[in-house]
Amino acid sequence: MPQASTPDATPTRDTDHLHLRGGGTSLLLDCAGDRLPRVLHWGADLGELTDEDVDQLRLALRQPPRAAGTDGEVPLALLAEQSSGWMGTPGLTGHRGGNDFSTLFTVDGIRRETPAEPAVAEQVTVAASDADAALDLELVLELLVSGLVRLRASVTNTGDSVFDLHGLEVNLPVPTEADELLDLTGRWGRERAQQRSAFTHGTHLRENRKGRALDAALVMAAGRAEFSWRQGEVRAAHVGWSGNTRVYAERLSHGTGLLAGGELLLAGEVALHGGQTYTGPWVYFTHGEGLDEAAGRFHGYLRARPQHPPSPRPVQLNVWEAVYFDHDLSRLQRLADVAASLGVERYVLDDGWFGSRRDDTSGLGDWVVSPDAWPDGLAPLIDHVHGLGMQFGLWFEPEMVNPDSDLARAHPEWILAARPDRWPVEQRRQQVLNLTIPEAYAHVRDQMLAILREYRIDYIKWDYNRDLIEPATQGTGRPAVHEQTLATYRLMDELIAAQPGLEIESCSSGGGRIDLGVMARCVRVWASDMTDPLERQLIEQGTSLLLPPEMVGSHVASPVSHQTRRTTGLDLRASTSFFSHMGIEWDITTASPEDLDRLRGWIELHKAHRELLHTGTVVHADHPDDALWVHGVVGTDGAEAIFAVAALRTSPLTVPGPVRLPGLDPDRRYVVAPLLPDGDARARRGGSVAWWESGVTLPGRALGTTGLQIPHLNPEHQVLLHVRAA
């Protein structure tokens, strides 16, 4: 159940409008009257506005009477209400014994302030109440330094009887010009694939009811038809929550459209007793000319936070695809030796080090070092890794348990289940541990802390490998996803507080838990279990709509993909991981000396450029041939950039045509040259492309609008281009 909270002092109001500006964004709120604020404008900066300008804009936007409709206007507030005449999805749904299903909130006060948090430019708090429904509402709206807007709502039951809350969702409007929607879908190994649909009348709704989502919408964007990475006005929403979520786009027949989102609450999950408060997650809203600018506001916000991971990000080796469950000390030490010789900076021991965990059928939940696999404990490996100058990371899956485990046998009542005699269907031979039970939470926390205190652990790979099916507390039968999510956050927070400097990666069968709620605690995501570099190109494209490259783990895997069985060359595998948080997922003890030398060169090249790659602006070209994928990173000062051109498949064209390099300073001159390790001679083989061997010098405007020819690329090949100011 949500915990009771004490509301802040009632804000005061001294204006009928608020104009928030920052990061190229204007958010103009109409606060006239006693109803919840409405948005007059959200989007590109309007510049300075006088009071008279706002009055005139309010007049210019006043709706005419509509046939067969309500008398007067139907305003859309930050939280939509049916009492205003809004007949779309209401922002608050619920009831009190069948009553008070429709609210009419009146504003008690509005407070505007500048928070101390460096990533936040301005904050507005709206306090409102509905005395008849015995509910108080608080809306907190923040304009972030990057131009993002985030909004969340809290509702408090001020009555004596229980209020059964079904949903609490906030929104911002989108203009009528937005006639196309983009969101993402996927499955294991193919996460975050883009899908588009027309933005017509009605509701386009994406829900996650599984507690995690390999098919998560991630963002929902609305814009002009055929909006692209570089062109078209775009607005998008993201729900920053790691449990169940709802995000939707809606347009009514009178033309008003919106993007909205919040937590998806299961039936009976939140029943507010007198004095109790439910606070919804932050919902983030972005805009831009093209997806690049809209995504860049997410990147800018994440990088402005004090907890953002510092650059450079360490190149890491994860041993999963090298050894799986075969934990042999000498073999793992040999992997560490080879990794250190390549320049790897972090070594991560994956699943299989604890309890009876020799495969995925048992031991999960018993977070004690296995005396069978590790008779001398983990110290021999950890000391060896640290002695080589590398950090050490360890895999955990704290929220899960195998039925075949000491924990499940001792405490079957700690498993999330609708009934004690009916556990949910198994997934990956595991169940979910109910962290809302204090004793279960303490058990996991204490076992993890014992490991972290006994050994020098720099990094946790935090996995989460099954859906939350029938997620309830045994005995009560009450759904528990909301409280389970808060408990997971609390567990991460406690571990980080207890072990300063500890870093956590969010992994969930790969990319099943990627959101700005978990990223308040994690420095990195494992974008997908798919390590085939061709598949990774599209997965990381979708991921970039939310996260900057330094927060996305991408590894150089073995020549034959463990997932697709496709064979790819080392240069493609390395250059694909080059832009992100680079790592290795490969038994490098089996690699040839030539491949090791080549991989060492790629790691050295990445280290030489990762400051640029992990701080610069991410850009994508709108290339007309979808067989080619063109993306890059441009330095914040515009002096340098690196681009990749990948051939994903065969092209219908024998000559691909000029490739444009977006995002460069149009008035600056740049030298463009191929980029490969050690200035490799292969980088100079351009066939009939005249400029390839000597490079070419052109203004940024020409490179961005005319472009340049690249060599013919066979499928599954990629070239990198280094662009620097002349």
CATH code, domain carrying 479 = 3.20.20.70
Identify whether residues 291 and 413 lie together within a single domain: no
Of the candidates 413, 105, 391, 154, the residue with the CA atom closest to the CA atom of residue 262? 154
Q: Kindly state whether residues 588 and 548 are assigned to the same domain.
A: yes
Q: How confident is the model at residue 685 (pLDDT cuts 50, 70, 90)?
A: low
- Does residue 598 sit in the same domain as residue 652? no
Kindly state the average pLDDT of the residues 5-14: 44
7 within a domain of the structure (yes/no):
no
Do 301 and 308 meet the contact criterion of CB atoms below 8 Å apart? Answer: no
Tokens (6 digits) for 33: 């009257």
Angle between helices 379-387 and 329-342 (to 10 degrees): 20
Residue type, 681: A
Structure confidence at residue 683 (pLDDT): 56
Domain end residue (candidates: 546, 580, 611): 611
The one-letter amino acid at 502? L
pLDDT tens sequence across 470-521: 999 998 999 999 999 999 999 999 999 999 999 999 999 999 999 999 999 9
Catalytic sites, residue numbers: 463, 529
What local confidence, expressed as pLDDT, does residue 32 receive?
95
Cβ(159)–Cβ(167) below 8 Å: no
Mean pLDDT, the chain, whole residue set: 94
* pLDDT of 686 over the 70 cut: no
Comparing C-alpha atoms, which of 424, 419, 435 is closest to residue 476?
Answer: 419
What does the pLDDT look like over 55-76, one tens digit per residue?
999 999 998 877 767 777 888 9
If one counts the domains in the chain, the total is 3
Mean pLDDT of 33-44: 97
CATH of the domain at 268: 2.70.98.60
Residue 539 lies in a domain: yes
Q: CB of 419 within 8 A of CB of 483?
A: no
**Residue among 141, 119, 111 at smallest CA distance from 38:** 141
Note whether 605 and 626 are same-domain residues. no
Across residues 25-40, what is the average pLDDT?
97
Q: Of 611, 638, 673, which residue constitutes the final position of a domain?
A: 611
On whether both 584 and 687 belong to a single domain, the answer is no
Whether residues 283 and 336 fall in one domain: no
Which residues make beta-bridge pairs with 263?
245
What pLDDT does 450 receive?
98
594 is a domain residue: yes
The average pLDDT across 670-682 equals: 83
Backbone angles phi, psi at 703, to 5 degrees: -65, -30
623: containing domain: 618-725
pLDDT digits (tens, 9 = 90+) for 407-459: 999 999 999 999 999 999 999 999 999 999 999 999 999 999 999 999 999 99
Report the CATH number that the domain containing residue 685 is assigned in CATH: 2.60.40.1180
In a domain, 9, yes or no: no
Is the pLDDT reported for residue 393 higher than 70? yes
- Residue ranges of alpha helices (H) inside 411-554 are 438-454, 481-498, 533-543
CA distance 368 to 370: 6
The pair phi, psi for residue 48, each rounded to 5°, is: -70, 135
pLDDT of residue 253: 85
Whether residue 274 lies inside any domain: the answer is yes
Cβ count near 171 (within 10 Å): 27
Which of 304, 334, 360 terminates a domain? The answer is 304
**Beta-ladder partners of 584:** 317, 556
Tell me what pLDDT residue 2 has: 40
Tokens encoding 196? 């588009």
Give the pair of three-digit tokens for residue 139: 């809306």
With respect to residue 558, please indicate whether it lies within any of the assigned structural domains: yes
The crossing angle, in degrees rounded to 10, of helices 570-577 and 533-543 is 10
Distance separating alpha carbons of residues 702 and 271, to the nearest angstrom: 61
In angstroms, what is the C-alpha Rg of the chain? 27
Higher pLDDT, 254 or 636: 636
Question: Residue 655 above 90 pLDDT?
Answer: no
**Preceding amide of 312 cis, omega within 30:** yes
Please check whether residues 536 and 642 belong to one and the same domain.
no
Please check whether residues 443 and 513 belong to one and the same domain. Answer: yes
- With 0-12 / 13-18 / 19 or more C-beta atoms within 10 angstroms meaning exposed / middle / buried, residue 260 is buried
Residue 582 lies in a domain: yes
Q: Is residue 624 located within the same domain as residue 607?
A: no
Residues 6+ apart with CB under 8 A from 258: 76, 80, 88, 171, 172, 173, 174, 249, 250, 251
Is residue 517 in a domain?
A: yes
CA 29/CA 449 separation, integer angstroms: 47
Q: What is the pLDDT of residue 311?
A: 76
535 shares its domain with 650 = no
pLDDT at 656: 79
Answer yes or no: do 640 and 596 share one domain. no
Mean pLDDT over 564-579 rounds to 96
Write the DSSP assignment of 162-175 as a string of letters.
-EEEEEEEEEEEE-
Per DSSP, helices labelled H in 508-592 are 533-543, 570-577
Is there a single domain that holds both residue 274 and residue 350? no
Identity of the residue numbered 579: F
Residue with tokens 């500890």: 502
Say if residue 37's pLDDT is above 50.
yes
Could you give the percent of the chain with pLDDT greater than 70?
97
Q: For residue range 237-278, what is the model confidence (pLDDT) as tens digits? A: 999 999 999 999 999 988 789 999 999 999 999 999 999 999
